Amino acid sequence: MKRTDRLLLRTHLSVQFALCLVALSWTYVADGQPSKQDLKIWYDRPATAWEEALPLGNGKTGAMVFGGIRRERLQLNDNTLWSGYPDPGNNPNGPKYLPLVRKAVEEGDYALAEKYWKKMQGPYSASYLHMANLFMEFPVDSGATTNYSRSLDLNTAVSSVSFRIKGVTYLREAFISHPDKVAVVRISADTKNQVDLRLWMNSKLKYKSSGRLRRPRQR
């Protein structure tokens, strides 16, 4: 890597860091206290790719919410879900290759740098797959959908999906609780007897699922 390239890279990283600081400063008022403004990620259509789904999590359990209309998908994950067994994965010989990697990069010999870099890696430990997909299917006419909104509230960590079909507004809210270690989905409509759904799951792993229906208390 040439000196000019390194300078450009450092300048680029410095600019990115400065922009991050500016972005963070927007969430604070003059006295240093967090502001009360609404911070949201929002879309006007369901996710068509994994990168567009909205993430939920509590540090152990995670979910990606896709926000479908007729079929909602929550991709579920757990941080203990790995193959193999616990392994520290440290490579005691790794540090001695670090200066060799740096030297090869400085000289522009990236093939040699890759060779040394691979020697820094630890032993093979485990493979990963997400835990499962939770699907919720709703017998609604998605072609008549209006006022669609999908968002993640960064203040409350609640994901919301709302839309209107034939005069009825539907709302799905989801979050993952850290104290209670559960994922919660609340489904509602502004008209009585309009919530109807079928739940099912699948996974690329061997699994067995079970459930229990609990009707809400009548108010």
For the chain, the domains span 1-35, 38-81+129-202, 87-127
Per residue of the chain (219 residues), what is the pLDDT tens digit? Answer: 443 333 333 333 333 333 333 333 333 344 455 556 679 999 999 999 999 999 999 999 999 999 999 999 999 999 888 776 777 778 888 999 999 999 999 999 999 999 999 999 887 767 777 899 999 999 999 999 999 999 999 999 999 999 999 999 999 999 999 999 999 999 999 999 999 999 999 998 888 877 776 666 666
Q: Which CATH class is domain 38-81+129-202?
A: mainly beta
Q: Apex CA 185: angle with CA 183 and CA 187, to 5°?
A: 175
Q: What is the 3-state secondary structure (H, E, C) of the chain?
A: CCHHHHHHHHHHHHHHHHHHHHHHHCCECCCCCECCCCCEEEECCCCCCHHHCEEEECCCEEEEECCCCCEEEEEEEECCCECCCCCCCCCCCHHHHHHHHHHHHHCCCHHHHHHHHHHHCCCCCCCECCCEEEEEECCCCHHHEEEEEEEEECCCCEEEEEEEECCEEEEEEEEEECCCCEEEEEEEECCCCCCCCEEEEECCCCCCCCCCCCCCCCC
Q: Are 183 and 56 in contact (CB under 8 A)?
A: yes
pTM above the 0.75 mark? no
Q: How many CA atoms lie within 13 A of 138 on its CB side?
A: 22
Contacts of 198 (CB under 8 A, 6+ apart): 136, 137
